[in-house]
Amino acid sequence: MLLKIILPVELAAEIEPHLPSDVVTVHVDSDGNFDDNPQDAEVYMNWYYLKKTTLYKVLADAPKLRWHHTVSAGVNHLLTPTFLERNLILTNSAGVNAIAVAEFVLTFMLYHTKQIVALQTLQHQKTWVKGLELQELLDKTLLIIGTGHVGREIAQRAKAFGMKVLGIRRHPQPLPAFDQIVGLDQWRSLLPLADYLVIAIPLTSDTQGMIDELALRVMDSQAYLINVARGAVVDEPALLKALTEGWIGGAALDTFVEEPLPLASPFWSLPNVFVTPHCAGTSSQLRSRLVALFLDNLNRYLSGLPLRNVVNQKLGY
């Protein structure tokens, strides 16, 4: 019996050569247009920047769907009432970009502690200054909110720099490279200790606006905030106030509530902010990892084995 799967046009050519002979494919583009009849499809894999109109079209045109796999790690954009009522298995691609994001976080921290902007300014001015006082990451305290794939990769690299690494997770437990991990009931008590605060937690109803004015006010005035999760985890008006009034030292922001970041946003021009266009997870190895994860899960699906990265749709990750 043939298994029909729906693949995004962006990745189909890299997946199809590895499929078993009893699997047939239908391609779908970003607008929800199919190249064949998806009526009998059981499996759907979506590409990045999935539009709700496309998702709903796939759900309507493929009534026999059982499993939906997304190439993203975050799933907050998928968990709509229309999706949830279908009761599908949902898997995500958490972990495939963890190395890339972790390296980006280290880049942000080194950029800040080594005053790269100031050094580039000196170069542009053709100015040679002796006696610059640059800092080290050694013995600095890093607080990571979220100890999943990304958080653990960050911790491993930070520990190699000699940092003290603290973590926050829903169910605290010891993990390699972390000096201390606390639960969501104690996380605010660690904020004053952080030289660097990294947000690497999924966006859910519980985490939306988590980094609020109260959190920012108790942080050290030299602390540096790094967001590689979702923009809405941070109360952006409160963060803007914290950055302009000096509650914290600065921020590196790879993600925002509204993307692309509007031209009128003050974040673009703040001298203590490093803005990047949601690219921390980008890597030349990303596509091959996405393909490998999906193929492994497809083999598990065909064999009746548990799938990897199954999303708890009530928790949102």
- Per-residue pLDDT of 25-36, as tens digits, reads 999 999 999 999
Whether the model clears a pTM of 0.85, i.e. scores above it, the answer is: yes
- Per-residue pLDDT of 244-268, as tens digits, reads 999 999 999 999 999 999 999 999 9
Residue 1 has pLDDT above 90, yes or no: no
Distance CA 78, CA 19 (A): 26
Q: Considering 27, 149, 157, 230, which one is annotated as catalytic?
A: 230
Half-sphere exposure of 289 (CA within 13 A, CB side): 18
Percent with pLDDT over 90 in the chain? 99
The CATH-assigned architecture of domain 98-275 is 3-Layer(aba) Sandwich (3.40)
Distance CA 67, CA 59 (A): 11
Q: Considering 217, 278, 287, 289, which one is annotated as catalytic?
A: 278
CB 256 within 8 A of CB 267: yes
Across residues 197-221, what is the average pLDDT? 97
CB 13 within 8 A of CB 37: no
Catalytic status, residue 230: yes
- In the chain, residues under CATH classification 3.40.50.720 are 3-96+284-303, 98-275
225 bridge partner residues: 197, 251
- Per-residue pLDDT of 94-119, as tens digits, reads 999 999 999 999 999 999 999 999 99
Check residue 131 and give its pLDDT.
87
Burial of 126 (0-12, 13-18, 19+ CB in 10 A): exposed
* Record: fold of 3-96+284-303: Rossmann fold (3.40.50)
